[in-house]
Amino acid sequence: MRICRFITGDDPRFGLVDGAGEKIAEISGDPLYTRIELTGATHLVEDVRLLAPVIPRSKVIGIGRNYADHAKEMGNEVPEEPLMFLIPNTSVCGPDDPVVIPDFVTEVSYEAELAVVIGRMCKDVAPEDARSVIFGYTVANDVTARDLQRGDGQWARAKGMDTFTPVGPWVETDLDIADLRITSSVDGEPRQDGTTADMVHGVAELIAHASRAFTLLPGDLILTGTPAGVGEIVAGQRCEVAVEGIGSMSNPFVADEQD
């Protein structure tokens, strides 16, 4: 089942997306918290504005260096345990939303990732029970200010600024994630082409590890890392990221035009 969040000019609503990704059957309420009921209204995807399918009430948990080839290209070793960092929920935006590059940032990178959506409150989840707390999966771009990442010594600003976590186009609730292709392109030029099969730490391990440290809440996102091929993107360019079995999402990058 594919669940999207969209707007047609009024308040945001949720809907079920058909297999072709063309039609939306509108549903009532928030599927993370209430039973899904069809309203009877339908829409074409091309006629609505897709929003981030979920806005975390609490947090986004990023995982660093979870693909050996990416760790190598960045000059880093693969960590023995999952390397976690927190991203504020205010960084989340949706498909086609502009990623705004602040005027104090000089080097920005894209990172295509599979994102896990947590479905219920949980703590100390065993790896074998991880599937029971997953609501579904979506696509994310873990945008990173490399200059701040190097200078700050930690990653809060580098990855957590407003609009730096595009998510979409919808949540897929039923998906075998063992070997999914992950890609990115900038202005149509291919940049990344990897597979979830190359994750150092799998999704079940990531959920177990994160939930030992933090209580996970419905709507929390876990970004699972990015394959090799990351690189710089500048204002005026557009980045598309995709995960097999879910779909693709693209966002323009723009300069912050402050007076």
pLDDT at 91 over 60: yes
| CA nearest to 223, candidates 239, 238, 210 | 210
User: Over the stretch 42-84, which tens digit does the pLDDT of each residue have?
Assistant: 999 999 999 999 999 899 999 999 998 987 888 888 889 999 9
d(CA 249, CA 242): 6
Q: Quick one: CA torsion of 193, 225, 174, 190, rounded to 10 degrees? A: -20
Specify the pLDDT at position 73. Answer: 85
Q: Which of 76, 97, 196, 210 is nearest to 137 (CA)?
A: 196
Which CA distances in Å does 87 have to 51, 52, 101, 215?
19, 16, 17, 15
Taking only the tens place, the pLDDT of each residue in 143-167 is: 999 999 999 989 999 999 999 999 9
Beta bridge partners of 145: 108
pLDDT digits (tens, 9 = 90+) for 8-33: 988 999 999 999 999 999 999 999 99
Tell me the pLDDT tens digit for each residue of 93-126. Answer: 999 999 999 999 999 999 999 999 999 999 999 9
* 169, amino acid identity: P
- What's the pLDDT at 259? 53
pLDDT of residue 71: 79
What does the angle CA 98 – CA 48 – CA 185 come to, to the nearest 5 degrees?
40
pLDDT in tens, 234-248: 999 999 999 999 999
Could you write out the DSSP letters of every residue in the chain?
Answer: -EEEEEESSSS-EEEEEPTTS-EEEEEES-TTTS--EEEEEEEEGGGSEEE-S---SS-EEEEES-BHHHHHHTT-PPPSS-EEEEE-GGGEE-TTPPEEE-TT---EE--EEEEEEE-S-BSS--GGGGGGGEEEEEEEE--EEHHHHHHHSSSHHHHHSTT-EEEEEEEESS---TT-EEEEEETTEEEEEEEGGGBSS-HHHHHHHHHHHS-B-TT-EEE----S---B--TT-EEEEEETTTEEEEEEEEE----
Residue that has been written with the tokens 């707007």 in this structure: 7
Average of per-residue pLDDT across 216-223: 98
pLDDT for res 258: 67
Peptide bond into 12 cis (omega under 30): no
Sign of the alpha-carbon dihedral angle for 182, 95, 120, 212: positive
Cβ atoms of 82 and 205 within 8 Å: the answer is: yes
